[in-house]
Amino acid sequence: MKAGIVGASGYVGGELLRLLANHGDVEVTVATSNKHKDEKVARIHPDLYGLTDLKFTGRSIFDLLDDLDVVFLAVPHGTSINYVPQLMESGVRIVDMSADFRLRDPDKYPVWYGFEHPYPDLIKKFVYGMPELHREELKNARYIAVPGCIASSSIYSIAPFASLDLDNNVITVDAKVGSSGSGAELDESKVFSERYNSVRAYKPAGHRHTPEIEQEIKYATGRDVKIALSAHSVNMVRGILTTSSIFAKTDEIHGWGLLREFYSGEKFVRLIMDKKSNFKYPDPKIVVGSNFVDLGFAIDRYINRIVSFGAIDNMIKGASGNAIQSMNIMYGFNESEGLTAPSLFPV
Amino acid sequence: MKAGIVGASGYVGGELLRLLANHGDVEVTVATSNKHKDEKVARIHPDLYGLTDLKFTGRSIFDLLDDLDVVFLAVPHGTSINYVPQLMESGVRIVDMSADFRLRDPDKYPVWYGFEHPYPDLIKKFVYGMPELHREELKNARYIAVPGCIASSSIYSIAPFASLDLDNNVITVDAKVGSSGSGAELDESKVFSERYNSVRAYKPAGHRHTPEIEQEIKYATGRDVKIALSAHSVNMVRGILTTSSIFAKTDEIHGWGLLREFYSGEKFVRLIMDKKSNFKYPDPKIVVGSNFVDLGFAIDRYINRIVSFGAIDNMIKGASGNAIQSMNIMYGFNESEGLTAPSLFPV
Amino acid sequence: MKAGIVGASGYVGGELLRLLANHGDVEVTVATSNKHKDEKVARIHPDLYGLTDLKFTGRSIFDLLDDLDVVFLAVPHGTSINYVPQLMESGVRIVDMSADFRLRDPDKYPVWYGFEHPYPDLIKKFVYGMPELHREELKNARYIAVPGCIASSSIYSIAPFASLDLDNNVITVDAKVGSSGSGAELDESKVFSERYNSVRAYKPAGHRHTPEIEQEIKYATGRDVKIALSAHSVNMVRGILTTSSIFAKTDEIHGWGLLREFYSGEKFVRLIMDKKSNFKYPDPKIVVGSNFVDLGFAIDRYINRIVSFGAIDNMIKGASGNAIQSMNIMYGFNESEGLTAPSLFPV
Amino acid sequence: MKAGIVGASGYVGGELLRLLANHGDVEVTVATSNKHKDEKVARIHPDLYGLTDLKFTGRSIFDLLDDLDVVFLAVPHGTSINYVPQLMESGVRIVDMSADFRLRDPDKYPVWYGFEHPYPDLIKKFVYGMPELHREELKNARYIAVPGCIASSSIYSIAPFASLDLDNNVITVDAKVGSSGSGAELDESKVFSERYNSVRAYKPAGHRHTPEIEQEIKYATGRDVKIALSAHSVNMVRGILTTSSIFAKTDEIHGWGLLREFYSGEKFVRLIMDKKSNFKYPDPKIVVGSNFVDLGFAIDRYINRIVSFGAIDNMIKGASGNAIQSMNIMYGFNESEGLTAPSLFPV
């Protein structure tokens, strides 16, 4: 099967290329980039030196659809909407990495993304690409809206607990994110000397993943919660840890039970419970390079709080990995195809 | 004036030595260490190579008091109580870096530290060494209990806002701490390959700085708040960022007004408000090496939340810097003596 | 095919486990560790959480040979010699990660390793596990001595140039190595706060890989060179860069020609020549996670010097990757089996 | 005394501002920057928040000389020559951070810097600002040419040994440099995600500090040596380690004797000889933040080589620190004024 990637010179596009290089059922034959057109893909994504001779093309994806089965849109928010209607008409399937079709309620777009959604009817045709919550829908999907990275870690770690009797419907989420989450574009604040060793609150309030998390918690549990999300960049390239404070009374046994039940049979979800390990709680260090989401929690008895952790590789389970896992389900491939690499430890 | 440091081979002791090396009024003449007795201080604290020929002594501090004016106790929690009564009798002044005399209410010790406080009456003789809140008391102090590092950053960033009308008396604090906060002792989880690139939730609930923060917020504002603190180690050596969610309605102008008023005239408090800088919010990167605490906040209008940040060098404003600043006040020295180094930027 | 790993709780053992987890022809059924016996492998190697339920065994490998085809010895130098004779008798094949059978000349052992080699005759039965130089021998091997990490990077980058007319038979090699190269054992100098940001000359002279490099340059080119090797630990976990100064006159075209010819058809050797990339010369950053060795050079016309670079993941092409590639050749498996993961970029 | 800094928004200019903020005899009253004119200095150099209200000026330095005693030129190579003649005429003293007046032989400029030096006669008026080698000249200087950072570390560590009987007059120097050495200017290869964890050979041959090192070795010892310098960026912000291979026969006692004699009485030179410390050889980690140069060596008996190390903070002893120390000598100030901060350890 043949795939094209629009916006393939960014980090998300690069990660799709990297993962699909080892996918038995998919070959990437088109990678578009205006900025790097006619350059070798491996110049920008040096992990692919020796693995591909593909070049970025500056041609329009619409001129290249004849040989493509699926198109990945690895473009900024607000840009996918310019591609989707015509792609749909062509009959190609779509995996959209942007936020443009994630929110079921079109009225959220002006509030959180600053634009009126031009195709509210098309949103319904997309399935939210989180296999653990939407596997059945994905089986019949043609269009996938891949979740946001912080949203993924938050949803995975909150959903199993949101059905508890909450003392407070506000859930505080503190996210620590590697630099790859903010892309490859040039900006003075990204210069190594300015960025190294920093803990940078880049979006302390109003983060756009907020409505996405609320939507999926509602979907999974029927509960209306409000998410108080603050996002920080920390001194690493890959990985996210989200720390969520859920104000409810429970104990360890019940908590683990909730997680086990919620994720029964899920092969990319790991519960981190070994207090004798150096890694007592989920830690991005031990997931980078893999499609795993690691989950765990602590109980704060002093104020009846569950401190719930999610750790993912933001580029894999937080983006391209979930995209591929969802695509595998959509096409009926082995769900793990292309995603079996262990994490790279230590690194 | 002559000072002795008990437990001088740890990082807190080392930082006292480093800062006092440039203090015009104090000379450190005694540095005790059982583990490193008779070794040169500069072997363990290599920043002091060429600056001191002092050796660690294995002798008891009690045999060395004749020539000392002040003793710094840089020992673990639960250990200072073994020194304080006899030191008091000797007439020497005490700056205690441990938690043993921080909590005014002795009943908190069994709950949070796991021991019954043996000298509840002596607690009253200590002043909490946070100059911005306790300057007048410090002028008449003989004994100083230096605040905890996470506690300091939390108190500085929460106190000005705690007088607002709170929607919820629970304040969530997420702390990101450098590795120096966990000391120099050997432990497999500290091995570089195991620790590099990690975001480690080392104390997600039940952190011992909790009652200290609550106590000082009460002291500063009269408010009873509950602190939901989660502490993480991040991939750096020095520095703390605390991110606190205070659920109250305010706006930017009022918020900055509260900070300005609360810290009027304080020379070690900086308000970080320049949105055109690479450093839009407090960031440990720009305080390391200095005695500054950087404060700033964002308003979350979606859920009436103030996201308040405090950034400090955990070893300086979070420990040895506040110790020295408090000592300066106690002795009537220039309050900034020994503390005027700018941060080291970039590093 | 079934494999056992002796000393499986170290980083080299862990990397064998990680890579073999995705090997289609080999299953690891035995992993020994005295220190961690009866503990789950995934506690120590958390990348394997969810991928294996294997536990470390404290039993002797000699009691477990019935079901094993091949034994990997991931033990310290001087220890493999205690295993090899009895393993040979049993008929099992051996892949030795230590230096005990790397040096063809037994007289080198007392000089460089401090022990008289007890089994000089057995050395001849081992093939040096560097496929690009010893592929034909490996096809008929039963016992493989896997090259050292710095040795590998040095040999790969020097051998093609050593046939030139040298102005000086001394070749200076400066190695920069990640922390994983010094293992997981506890040691105060490895504590994160002591190690972070350092550039540590850990073996400036007398490095044990010296005779190994000289031996293989001799093997490849017939030349007797002397290697002036200095090894440094730098601020990262994985990867090696070696910078070698070869004093000879050549130009870029001839230099690239030598490299191309020497490594013709080698799929794990990449020549880094793209001066428009962010990665103009080999850099460990772009090989970590892969089995590639990246090679490149600069010409110093001022003193007729070739500055030749080799970059590898010390754990893969510098240890477990070459072990597996050599094993694949020995058994006639697909030479790339288990080794096709691209590097993890960016990380 | 009043100082102006031309090009004050770069890292070298920032470091001058940082160090002079604590200098008792000098006040910086002018800081020029075209790019950041009229912006607060503290926006670009956030270490100076709260310490200065100075703004960058876009005015010409020539219009501001009336109130200045000394001008620091923190501008790129090839630019200082545009300032020096007119500044000299004005009577102001000059501390030039660029390379434009470092090389005594004007014929070196076309070869190494690509321009014909327009003022060969003015070169003679400058003293090379390395106090340990040129103190007497500095006492009578009016114009100082501050050494390059890699050159400094190399000269300090090679000069004491260059008087030995050399087997080979080529000395190999391998430099590992922090990112601050390549400045604050924007460039895709500096983006954090591209740069983190890398070991980047940025100037493997033809480095411009080469003739500067050769000149000063000649000056110090009368010897003509050739320097084979290769420079690498490593994963840190501040600091340089140079590893130099000097091919000569000596032993430890004689070697230490040479160093002690050469640097007798020098308070900013430290000899690192404590093999029981975590820091057995010079390491940038233990000098950052200070004006120290740390020196040490190992003897390679196998090939009669001295492996000599120099470690400095590239921004201090490698640039602004030597500038200030030299200026202190020129003006007869206390030579250590402004330079007494210990290194920041650990960081």
Chain C residue with the nearest C-alpha to that of A42: C277
Residue for token pair 């990757």:
C321
Chain A residue with the nearest C-alpha to that of C272: A49
Chain B residue with the nearest C-alpha to that of D49: B270
- CB-nearest to A228 from B280, B299, B303 is B303
Rounded-to-integer distance, Cα B159 and Cα B227, Å: 12
Task: Provide ipTM, 2 decimals.
Answer: 0.96
Q: Which residues pair with C32 in a beta bridge?
A: C6, C57
| pLDDT tens string B254-302 | 999 999 999 999 999 999 999 999 999 999 999 999 999 999 999 999 9
Chain C residue with the nearest C-alpha to that of D171: C172
Contact A21, A38 (CB under 8 A): no
Contact A310, A159 (CB under 8 A): no
**Cβ–Cβ of C286/A47 closer than 8 Å?**
yes
Tokens for D133, please give them: 């080698």
C-alpha torsion sign, points B104, B105, B106, B108? negative
Cis, peptide link before residue C147, omega less than 30° from 0? no
Contact A313, A268 (CB under 8 A): no
Residue for token pair 């390549």:
D182
Rounded-to-integer distance, Cα A294 and Cα D81, Å: 59
**Cβ–Cβ of B341/D343 closer than 8 Å?**
no
Contact D328, D337 (CB under 8 A): yes
Note the pLDDT of residue C25.
98
Q: Is the pLDDT of residue C128 over 90?
A: yes
∠ at Cα B328 (B325, B334), nearest 5°? Answer: 100
Percent of the residues in chain C that have a pLDDT greater than 90, as a whole number: 98
Query: Where does chain D hold its CATH 3.40.50.720 domain(s)?
Result: 2-124
Which member of D8, D26, D149, D312 is catalytic?
D149
Q: Answer yes or no: is C293 a known binding residue.
A: no
Residues of chain D contacting A190 with CB distance shorter than 8 Å: 190-193
User: Touching check for C200 and chain B: CB below 8 Å?
Assistant: no
Mean pLDDT value of segment A142-156: 98
State the smallest CA–CA distance between residue C128 and chain D in angstroms: 24
Query: Quick one: A2-124 is in which CATH superfamily?
Result: NAD(P)-binding Rossmann-like Domain (3.40.50.720)
DSSP string, D234-254: -SSSS-EEEEEEEEB---HHH
Q: Is the pLDDT of residue C184 over 90?
A: no
What are the two backbone dihedrals, phi and then psi, of residue D317, each rounded to the nearest 5 degrees?
-60, -25
| pLDDT tens string D79-123 | 999 999 999 999 999 999 999 999 999 999 999 999 999 999 999
Note the pLDDT of residue D185.
83
State the smallest CA–CA distance between residue A47 and chain D in angstroms: 12
**Cβ–Cβ of A205/B300 closer than 8 Å?**
yes
Residues of chain A contacting D194 with CB distance shorter than 8 Å: 184
Query: Where does chain D hold its CATH 3.30.360.10 domain(s)?
Result: 150-313
Query: Which architecture does CATH list for D150-313?
Result: 2-Layer Sandwich (3.30)
| pLDDT tens string D247-289 | 999 999 999 999 999 999 999 999 999 999 999 999 999 999 9
User: Touching check for D223 and chain A: CB below 8 Å?
Assistant: no
Compute the mean pLDDT over every residue in chain A, rounded to the nearest whole number: 97
pLDDT band at C183 (very low <50, low <70, confident <90, very high): confident
State the smallest CA–CA distance between residue A96 and chain D in angstroms: 24
**Cβ–Cβ of B347/A303 closer than 8 Å?**
no
Mutate to test the interface with D, among C196, C198, C237 (most CBs of D within 10 A): C198
Decide: helix, strand or coil at residue C290: coil
Surface-to-core class of residue B165, CB atoms within 10 Å of its CB (0-12 exposed, 13-18 middle, 19+ buried): exposed
Q: Are strands D226-233 and D170-177 parallel, antiparallel or unpaired?
A: parallel
Surface-to-core class of residue C217, CB atoms within 10 Å of its CB (0-12 exposed, 13-18 middle, 19+ buried): buried
Note the pLDDT of residue D64.
98
User: Touching check for A210 and chain B: CB below 8 Å?
Assistant: yes
Rounded-to-integer distance, Cα C55 and Cα C40, Å: 4
Note the pLDDT of residue C232.
98
User: Touching check for A210 and chain C: CB below 8 Å?
Assistant: no
Chain A residue with the nearest C-alpha to that of C315: A346
Rounded-to-integer distance, Cα A319 and Cα A326, Å: 11
Instruction: Select from A277, A268, A276 the least CA-distant residue to A295.
Output: A268
**Residue A304 falls in which region: left (phi positive, over 0), alpha (psi -120 to 50) or beta:** left
**Cβ–Cβ of B199/A234 closer than 8 Å?**
yes
Mean pLDDT value of segment A29-39: 97
State the smallest CA–CA distance between residue B117 and chain C in angstroms: 33
State the smallest CA–CA distance between residue D41 and chain C in angstroms: 28
User: Touching check for D7 and chain C: CB below 8 Å?
Assistant: no
Q: Answer yes or no: is B49 a known binding residue.
A: no
Mutate to test the interface with A, among B179, B199, B287 (most CBs of A within 10 A): B199
Tokens for D147, please give them: 């050494």
User: Touching check for A46 and chain C: CB below 8 Å?
Assistant: yes
Mean pLDDT value of segment D35-46: 97
| pLDDT tens string D125-140 | 999 999 999 999 999 9
Q: Alpha carbon of D201 to those of A123, C244, C246, C289, D77: distances in Å? A: 49, 12, 16, 20, 21
Q: Is the pLDDT of residue A52 over 90?
A: yes
Please identify every residue of A annotated as catalytic: 149
Compute the mean pLDDT over every residue in chain C, rounded to the nearest whole number: 97
Q: Answer yes or no: is C78 a known binding residue.
A: no
Mean pLDDT value of segment D164-189: 94
Residue for token pair 């700085």:
B209
Contact A248, A304 (CB under 8 A): yes
Instruction: Give how far the C-alpha of residue D270 lies from the chain's centroid of Cα atoms, to the nearest Å.
Output: 17
Note the pLDDT of residue B69.
98
Q: Alpha carbon of D18 to those of A192, B338, B343, D11, D320: distances in Å? A: 20, 16, 9, 10, 9
Please list, in sequence order, all residues whose beta carbon lies within 8 angstroms of the beta carbon of residue A172, skipping any fewer than 6 positions away: A228, A229, A230, A244, A245, B172, B174, B228, B245
Please list, in sequence order, all residues whose beta carbon lies within 8 angstroms of the beta carbon of residue A3, skipping any fewer than 6 positions away: A20, A26, A27, A28, A29, A30, A68, A69, A70, A71, A72
What is the rounded end-to-end Cα distance, in angstroms, of chain C? 33
C194 is catalytic: no
| pLDDT tens string B61-101 | 999 999 999 999 999 999 999 999 999 999 999 999 999 99
Q: Are strands C200-203 and C269-271 parallel, antiparallel or unpaired?
A: unpaired
Note the pLDDT of residue B184.
79
Tokens for D211, please give them: 């003739």
Mean pLDDT value of segment A190-212: 97
R_g of chain A, CA atoms, integer Å:
20
User: Touching check for D266 and chain B: CB below 8 Å?
Assistant: no
Percent of the residues in chain C that have a pLDDT greater than 70, as a whole number: 100
Residues of chain C contacting D206 with CB distance shorter than 8 Å: 300-302
**Cβ–Cβ of D298/C346 closer than 8 Å?**
no
∠ at Cα D176 (D338, D245), nearest 5°? Answer: 105
Query: Quick one: B150-312 is in which CATH superfamily?
Result: Dihydrodipicolinate Reductase; domain 2 (3.30.360.10)
Tokens for C283, please give them: 């850099």
- Count Cβ–Cβ pairs < 8 Å, chain A vs chain D: 49
pLDDT band at C97 (very low <50, low <70, confident <90, very high): very high
Which member of C149, C217, C227, C315 is catalytic?
C149
Q: Is the pLDDT of residue D184 over 90?
A: no
R_g of chain C, CA atoms, integer Å:
20
Q: Is the pLDDT of residue B183 over 90?
A: no
Q: Answer yes or no: is A334 a known binding residue.
A: no
Q: Do you know the residue count of chain A? A: 347
Write C114-120 long-range contacts (CB < 8 A, 24+).
Answer: C115/C78, C117/C81, C118/C81, C119/C81, C119/C84, C119/C85
**Cβ–Cβ of B47/D286 closer than 8 Å?**
yes
Rounded-to-integer distance, Cα C198 and Cα C181, Å: 15
**Cβ–Cβ of D192/A188 closer than 8 Å?**
no
What are the two backbone dihedrals, phi and then psi, of residue A255, each rounded to the nearest 5 degrees?
-60, -50
- CB-nearest to C196 from B187, B192, B194 is B192
Q: Alpha carbon of A337 to those of A19, A129, C344: distances in Å? A: 10, 16, 18
